[in-house]
Amino acid sequence: MSDFYHGLFRSHTGADGRTHLMRHEAGPARIPCPTTGRPLRVATIDANTAAICPACASHGQGGFVSFDGDLRMAYACPECRQLVWVEGA
């Protein structure tokens, strides 16, 4: 189950019966870029954040990842179990 999101997050079911994403304590410092395969260094991780998934449009308690030297962010969706890449501003 830690294969989801490159091991950056782990999911657990909250008291409300919904899936929440928590930061994985032993998560990697880098994950591969989805287009080039180049390792991107993780800068910040915000877990258990209410958001709407850009891929499946569901509301969830997901996680955001930002990277050093890269404007993109990745959203970890607890519903479709994808790491969805979002263009930065």
Q: Interface with Zn ion by CB under 5 A: which residues?
A: 53, 55-56, 77, 79-80
Following CA atoms 34, 4, 18, 46 in sequence, which dihedral angle do they give, to the nearest 10 degrees?
Answer: -60
CB of residue 85 to Zn ion, shortest distance in Å: 12
Residue 10's CB is within 10 A of a number of other CB atoms, namely: 19
Q: Which is nearer to Zn ion, 20 or 29 (CB)?
A: 20
Q: Which is nearer to Zn ion, 4 or 67 (CB)?
A: 4
Q: Give the whole-angstrom CA distance, residue 74 versus residue 40.
A: 11
Q: Which is nearer to Zn ion, 54 or 88 (CB)?
A: 54
